[in-house]
Structure 1
Amino acid sequence: MRQLPLARRGERLSVLCLGAHSDDIEIGAGGTILSLIAEGVLLDVHWCVLSAPGVRAREANESAMAFLEGAASCKIELAEFEDSYFPSQTREIKQWLTALRDRISPGVIFTHARDDAHQDHREVNRLTTNIFRNHLVLEYEIPKWDGDLTQHNTYVPLTAAVMDRKVQLLLEHFGTQRSKDWFDELTFKGLARLRGMECRAAERFAEAFTSRKLTLAIG
């Protein structure tokens, strides 16, 4: 399988991470972010959580800071759109994301999957791909009770050390989620092991994404 580098050591890469809820980015793309930093990529990250009220805001901010330790720069923005009702807030969320687009032009965007079973996640994807039309968008996955996992076409292999660090940070920073029966080490490592198998990752783990449109340069 041919590997196309997202960025190499010493290169600068601007990244926009979008999540509906305070743990989404970490679950979906946390290992990729940790890997880019560990590999020496100069990462400029704009980290946006659209629904992070109350104690979830503290969790989101502290977790983001931990995952982004070592990044060249980072900016964390937390909004307070109502959880579970994103489709009814489309106009307001679109205005928020449009204002964000007018301020930044990322090299890659990590966001939710188009066919995610959670209505908030689907709405974030729909608006992201509508507003950021000329950007590389990588759609991440969130395991859940609904069982909506599907086939992907893009993989980022993770080292065992990065996988361990991702799980450690998730369990450390999201105390409000630890009571959920799916929020545990076995879920996160099990999914990453399957994705690692699919792409033959050297250390067995990977995160999977979907890319809807990609331009390959020749010469």
Structure 2
Amino acid sequence: MLNPKQAIVALDFNSYEEANKLTKYLDPEKFRLKIGKQLFSNEGPFILDKFHKEGFEIFLDLKLHDIPNTVYKALKNIYGHGVWMSNIHLLGGKEMINAAQKARLESNKEAFLIGVTILTSLDETQLKLIGFKDKVPQLVKKLASEAKNALLDGVVCSAQEAKELKKTFGKDFVLVTPGIRINSQKGDQSRVTTLKEAINYGSDYLVLGREISKAKDIPQMIKNIESYII
């Protein structure tokens, strides 16, 4: 079963008007929202303020990866809009990670800051092509260790990685899992799993995207997901 607000709905749209065709069916007491580059690049901070006023808590998924000072300033702005959770790419290195943590602590200590390890669209074949020799689990663990050492709240990971990460870094290390499906269709993410499996693996927050937005009957799909909520 899911706790209220454990499910995060990804808004993979170009505008508020398009996103609202989905969010009008969502209860802010049961769901959080994920806003990524697609929607944010078109609407800007307006979209954060708009949904915040409607009662939603927002995970801003920009995967910041830049020089430390740029990431610091960007996160100061982001948390100024009441964002519940934001993220950085851990491949940015220790100085960037520490700068991000500094921005979060100065802006809103209660907000979440998590790290991105390896994108779920990448499998080991693709990683080898760009020069990574370690297998996915080893890479994820190394990068998650950087997040833990910098006192970030947790990481984005696939559900298959969640059990080992919980064992290694403790139950309070927050795990956010994208690519969640009600069934087992992959889409364009290689390391996906079902909602029930993700809960059993130990993922703390589950991100659902096309499973809802591409449903033939969106209200009914949302009701199906709500049936998992305590």
TM over 0.5: no
Give the TM-score normalised by structure 2.
0.36
Provide TM-score, normalisation by structure 1: 0.37
